[in-house]
Amino acid sequence: MKPYAPYIPLNISEIMDLLGWMMLNAPKFEDDTGYFAGQNIETEFLALNGGLSNIRKKVGEEAYQALITISDKMREHFEADPDDVGAGGREGRTCIREMEDILIASARRKSR
């Protein structure tokens, strides 16, 4: 079996899809079907941050820096609560919603 290689989102829409998946699969981000063996918190944050890098010019430097800061904070929350029994999971999911809000606002600004 070949090792799992995460898909790096190419645009805001794909990042929004990834964030939705992350919301449902937090805090460990592991595949329970066995189809994506090796998928974990490391691979999914690699995908998220790679996707954010791909849209950096589109969203602007200020929004990009805010998204990276939130991504780092989100990962810290999820790593602190791997069993999703404390506040870390909730706080990590709040970070996901914050990122979605920034991405939606950025997409609206760019479409005008």
The C-alpha atoms of residue 94 and residue 11 are separated, in whole angstroms, by 22
Q: Where are the alpha helices (DSSP H) in 4-85?
A: 12-25, 41-54, 56-59, 61-80
Indicate the domain borders of the chain: 12-111
pLDDT tens string 101-112:
999 999 888 776
- Name residue, tokens 């010019």: 57
pLDDT tens readout for residues 64-111: 999 999 999 999 999 999 999 999 999 999 999 999 999 999 988 877
